[in-house]
Structure 1
Amino acid sequence: MDNVKIVDATPNDVAQLQNISIQTFSETFSAVNTPEDMTQYLNESLSLNKLRDELNNKLSQFYFAIHNEEVIGYLKLNTGQAQTDVKDNDALEIERIYVSQAFLGKNIGKLLYEKAVQIARKTGARYIWLGVWEKNSRAISFYKKNGFVEFDQHVFMLGTDRQIDIMMKKDLMND
């Protein structure tokens, strides 16, 4: 898709980040989770205060996908101790890649993913890793197509629902 820019998100962008986060998470998962679990997750994990703290963490980076001045997706990366599980200084975690439903299938996720790979290579990361819900077959397929392999699992709490994420990684040293 033409005219899409990937730009840094800053602490001043917290309201925009919250809007796109809630929109895309809801679009992706509302139909397959209870309203109560969704509400609890959105209120706890995507609150302005929590997102502001994440934006201010020097070991995390956020990027927006912008089309016609509108935020249509975003990416969150973590290094070092900001990583959710692995906490390997030789790794980069893709914690979130989300794209507005209206722009799915238009390579926006691929642009965000390519930004993550570019940053991983620039910082000397040996591999990229992420967790993806075991029932999110679209995302799992995307990551497998891009060279990721499964290496573990972890629990992801969505409200009171204990869900399993498949942990996947891509070796950048043999790529």
Structure 2
Amino acid sequence: MIQVSENINLKEITLKDHQTLYDLMCRIYPPAYINYWEDNGEWYVNDLYNSKNLQKELEDTNADYYFVVLDDKIIGILRVVWNLDTHYQEDKNYVKLHRLYLDQTIQNKGIGYQLMIWLINSATKKGYKKLWLEVMEKQDQALYFYQKLDFKEVDKVFIEFPLVYKEYRGMYKMVKTLN
């Protein structure tokens, strides 16, 4: 386990954790994105959190995948990809926050902020110059959160997931320059 703060830890996800991960995401993803999907997000959860995809993601040696644990209770996930090519910048010295999902019952308590500070500090210590992420255009709360952490919008893309309503397909790529 990696200690982020006094009561927040990161527990590495393994293949044997598949069912725990799947159950968690079935619980925490749909409430946040239910209006974005024709099927309430069921396709997304089934596609990303099935055992075959988990195995593929765990085989990526440039990625770290964790459960977020608060006071011994799993409350979310964090996935980071190191040395990821951004496909839009010459500089390859980037780290990507690939996923950060937290249970809505604990949001607005500073947990996401503590996780981001931990990630920013970890990336800086490893010599990375930039941290990037993608956030859905219509997720105002998430956009505001990342903007408060000095992330800047650098590009806009459109996701092609088949069951996302067209008006929710806009996604911003955001970058934070690290010290």
The TM-score with structure 1 as length reference comes to: 0.85
Partner of 1:22: 26
Partner of 1:172: 178
One of 51, 70, 73 as aligned partner of 2:73: 70
Quick check: 1:155–1:164 contact (8 Å CA) kept in 2? yes
CA distance in 1 between counterparts of 2:159 and 2:86 reads 11
* Aligned-residue CA RMSD (Å): 2.3
CA distance in 1 between counterparts of 2:139 and 2:154 reads 17
- The one-letter amino acid paired with 1:8 is E
One of 151, 158, 162 as aligned partner of 1:159: 162
Q: Provide structure 1 residue ranges, at least 5 long, that are not aligned to the other structure.
A: none
| CA offsets 1:144-172 (integer angstroms, 9 cap, x no match) | 00001000012223333351111100001
CA distance in 1 between counterparts of 2:124 and 2:14 reads 22
One of 7, 14, 23 as aligned partner of 1:10: 14
Deviation at 1:137, TM superposition (A): 0.4
CA distance in 2 between counterparts of 1:30 and 1:17 reads 19
User: Would you identify which runs of 4 or more consecutive aligned residues in structure 1 move more than 6 Å?
Assistant: none
CA distance in 1 between counterparts of 2:25 and 2:152 reads 26
Quick check: 1:4–1:66 contact (8 Å CA) kept in 2? yes
Percent of aligned positions that are identical: 24
CA distance in 1 between counterparts of 2:126 and 2:20 reads 27
CA distance in 2 between counterparts of 1:76 and 1:40 reads 20
Q: Provide structure 2 residue ranges, at least 5 long, that are not aligned to the other structure.
A: none
- The one-letter amino acid paired with 1:96 is R
Match of 2:98, SS state, is strand
Q: How many residues align?
A: 171
Deviation at 1:85, TM superposition (A): 5.0
| CA offsets 1:2-44 (integer angstroms, 9 cap, x no match) | 62323333333333222323322212101342216x2222222
